[in-house]
Amino acid sequence: MTSKSVSDIVRLGPVIPVLAFETVEQGEHVSRALHAGGVKVLEITLRTPAGLGAIERACELADDIVVGVGTITKPEHCAQAKKAGAQFGVSPGLTKDMHQAAQDAGLPLLPGVMTPSDIILALELGYEIVKFFPAQQAGGVPMLQAFHGPFPALKFCPTGGITAESAPHFLSLPNVVCVGGSWLTPKSALAAQNWDEVTRLARAASQLAAPVH
């Protein structure tokens, strides 16, 4: 499987689903359902013990699935994610140690930022695309509009509190390349094993207007 940069990955679809699975089997069903709905990029988080196993399984489902690991909060997570087959990593924040660990593991990283100081660190370390997290709670669309002035070249993937209704507002911004969201996998659908509903939500998300910039 060819290695992709974060820049390539974030342009594969307007929405990257943020996923947390109770079991590896649930992860496989959901990953299949999302892929059937046209979603090519998955962010499977380390918030549950099933995370790494679900990543391994999802990587085997289709040649055109790009699986990333989310909720990287420790440098050692980078090597674990790479070993499980993840093609990129997503973190809620960024430190120099985490940046170095991602480099050492050969894991393209989408680091989280929330403040101008976070952004300046990310820029110093060479990042051109960052995750804005938690997006809604940290100021949403107005905050991203404000960031565009001092940081005109930086691109964002806002994640956190975004819904099917608010996603188009984020995607319309000149500095947003995609959004992350958990609305594609509602708890009620997962509890009922209603994979068709996941596919329906994935199809709707895939058809959102992707940014043209």
Q: Hey, how many other C-beta atoms are within 10 angstroms of the C-beta on 74?
A: 13
Which residue type is seen at 87?
Q
Question: Residue 4 catalytic?
Answer: no
Say how far apart CA 114 and CA 202 lie, in whole Å.
27
* 76 labelled catalytic: no
- What does the longest C-alpha to C-alpha distance in the chain come to? 46
- Residues in a beta bridge with 15: 179
Phi and psi at 132, nearest 5°, equal -95, 115
Of 4, 40, 43, 60, which one is the catalytic site residue? Answer: 43
Contact 41, 16 (CB under 8 A): yes
* Of 76, 82, 128, 131, catalytic: 131
Active site residues: 43, 131
